[in-house]
Amino acid sequence: MMAGILWLLLAVMGGLAVLPLFASGYIISFTIQIFMWIALAGSWNLISGFTGYVSFGHVAFFGVGAYTGALLVTQAGWHWLPASLAGCVPAAALALLIGYPCLRLKGPYFAIAMLGLNEVVRALVSYFESFTGGGSGISLPPILSIAPVYYAMGGAAVAVTLLTYRIITSRFGLRLLSIREDEIAAETMGINTSLMKLYAFLLSALFPGIVGGLYAWYSSYIEPLGVFPLLTTITMIIMCLFGGKGTVLGPVLGAVLLSVFQELVWARFLFVHQAIFGALIVAVVLLMPRGIMGVLQERYRLPRTV
């Protein structure tokens, strides 16, 4: 079973690696979007799926990364790839700064604090107009070929998934799960829960920062409302829950299935697609609260590490 899954994954990866050679521009950009969602939903999973601390402001790391990448390209003349990678630095700094006080908050209080964080960061970006361009945003040079972005975004998706696998098969991963299960018991058993949460939060902020930088380069133009939308956080959450929180392949499945679903429905039912999407989410939460992977794991007795 495990070997089968592994082979399937390798085959899919092989297919994706050669996709830009023959696929249309539409397919490639759609796949880039899926990669982006895999990386974002997978990152959200690292803090919220594992420890149960629901972050409603994760797009803040994405936005900070996008602005870092855009500024490094336009102001400092960096190449887009290192500029995007550098996006993880301010994202990590922000995670440390915010995580240290806020991870002490429990349940809905943490969620709301994170929601506030995103609004604050967006307001700051809009306010410092001379530096960030304010509401009129930043324009980047147009990209000539999207294949490099495709591979970079794909790399981010793979890296997040491998990182998740590495964590879930480690004691660190078990410790994060024990925080979700019963934080007081975990603490009493000698687990430094504050530190573990901070590590998880830090790791969960890195890739949204990088992906944000790639997004800025790929879309050639960013503005505060475009890179700090609450909807992006909500989409990450839904994808992760749909696929299965606290699992390796859950965010991947959630990102792929929901992106494809949304694309198909959007094309056919232009006006009601959001209603259909919403109904699907309600159905999923009611019928399989542990997501697709949760159902599969229960039915086929799969280990958690899938």
Partner 1 sequence: MPEGHILEVREVTKRFGGVTAVNHCSLAVQPGKIYGLIGPNGSGKTTLFNCITGLDRRDEGEIRFKDERIDGLKPHQVACRGIGRTFQIIRVFPELTALENLLVVSRKGGLAGNCQRAMELLEFVKLDRLQNEYAGNLSYGQQKLLEFIRVLMTDPELILLDEPAAGVNPTLLNDLLGAIRKLRVQGKTVLIVEHDMKVVMGLCEMVFVLDYGEKIAEGPPEVIQANERVMEAYFGR
C-beta of 185 vs 260, nearer to partner 1: 185
Which H/E stretch holds residue 221? strand 221-222
C-beta of 133 vs 294, nearer to partner 1: 294
Query: In one letter, which amino acid is 286?
Result: L
| Interacting positions 190-219 with partner 1 (CB under 8 A) | 190-193
CA distance 13 to 236: 22
Q: Which of 120, 127, 182, 305 binds partner 1 (CB under 8 A)?
A: 182
Strand boundaries in the chain, DSSP class E: 138-139, 221-222
C-beta of 25 vs 190, nearer to partner 1: 190
Instruction: Please identify, among the stretches 137-145, 184-192, 205-213, 273-281, the one whose residues bind partner 1 according to the rule CB under 8 A.
Output: 184-192
Q: What is the dihedral of CA 237, 109, 99, 168, to 10 degrees?
A: -50
Distance of CA 141 to the CA centre of its chain: 25
- Asked if 174 interacts with partner 1 (CB under 8 A), we say yes
C-beta of 8 vs 185, nearer to partner 1: 185
Instruction: Please identify, among the stretches 9-17, 25-33, 188-196, 207-215, the one whose residues bind partner 1 according to the rule CB under 8 A.
Output: 188-196
The tokens for 102 are 């806020």
Q: Which of 1, 8, 96, 185 binds partner 1 (CB under 8 A)?
A: 185
173 contacts 50 by C-beta, under 8 angstroms: yes
CA distance 217 to 141: 8
CA-based nearest residue to 212, from 1, 36, 18:
36
- Asked if 188 interacts with partner 1 (CB under 8 A), we say yes
C-beta of 101 vs 190, nearer to partner 1: 190
Residues that bind partner 1 (CB under 8 A): 169-171, 174-175, 177-178, 180-182, 184-193
